[in-house]
Structure 1
């Protein structure tokens, strides 16, 4: 598995992520449509040969804060370390870019994501009501070892 970090996503990369995005989320809106309202996106993607097996997308929210907005792992590749590899790759790149913390939100129905975040030293900092239900807000302070 190769983990690749792209500091600024373009439409071509988002188009390559679209099939996996739809497989995981079955959204009526495309990834490009959802991404259009976001600031410059950073993508961390996991590839097995030429096949995309997972991704994490996020963006800067402050001088030293990053928001990990969206992630997906091929359902056939779950529990094989893909999510952890993506998270480690994203966090390593963020530290090198000078970020101090990374935030994310998830929902109880995405328990695998919640468990992954807790395993990677995120702390639950609160909840907020979203259009699809209650969101769990998490934050991680990036240190040399985390």
Structure 2
């Protein structure tokens, strides 16, 4: 039984809810999320798919924007640790891809930091192809993916 709903947030709503998104991201991707609203400003076609539980708590996120003409960059996201393994990431990905296709994008790109093998496998299952590696000394290796729509 699904105990969450997926909402689609446009750019202005993402920016207005930047503190909520930053607090969620700090749980799933600990980092410095200060000034997150500023990082969202100016992103073309900024869009999020947000999984919300029955209590209104954000439990999942897929956030992206148009990086290259006609290509949507699935920038970041995650699922709350206490609800992982329930298909939320796949549902968010499906919703994002359907939206991107309807919005007229011709493809999607994303990157997965290693050792996040679960996300790399989910990307492959969703039809992404490995497009390359980003190897930066002192940083986790990123697998770069692309999917045509």
What TM-score do you get using the length of structure 1 for normalisation? 0.87
Deviates more, 1:123-132 or 1:98-107: 123-132
Deviates more, 1:22-31 or 1:69-78: 22-31
Cα distance in 2 for partners of 1:31, 1:43 equals 18
Aligned to 1:15: 19
Aligned to 2:113: 107
- Of 44, 63, 78, the residue aligned with 1:57 is 63
Deviates more, 1:5-14 or 1:117-126: 5-14
Aligned to 1:5: 8
**CA, structure 1 residues 106+128, in 2 after alignment: closer, same or farther (shift >3 Å)?**
same
Alignment map for 1:9-48 (pairs within 5 Å): 9-30=13-34, 32=36, 35-36=39-40, 39-40=43-44, 41-48=46-53
**Cα RMSD between the aligned structures?**
1.9
Answering whether residue 140 of structure 2 is matched by residue 137 of structure 1, we say no
**CA, structure 1 residues 34+109, in 2 after alignment: closer, same or farther (shift >3 Å)?**
farther
Cα distance in 1 for partners of 2:15, 2:40 equals 10
Deviation at 1:23, TM superposition (A): 0.9
Could you tell me which runs of 5 or more consecutive residues in structure 2 were left unpaired when the two chains were aligned: none
Deviation at 1:103, TM superposition (A): 0.3
Deviation at 1:67, TM superposition (A): 0.5
Alignment check: 8 A CA contact 2:111 2:144 kept: yes
Q: Residue 17 of structure 2 aligns to a residue in which SS?
A: helix
Deviation beyond 2 Å, 4+ runs, structure 1: 9-12, 28-31, 33-38
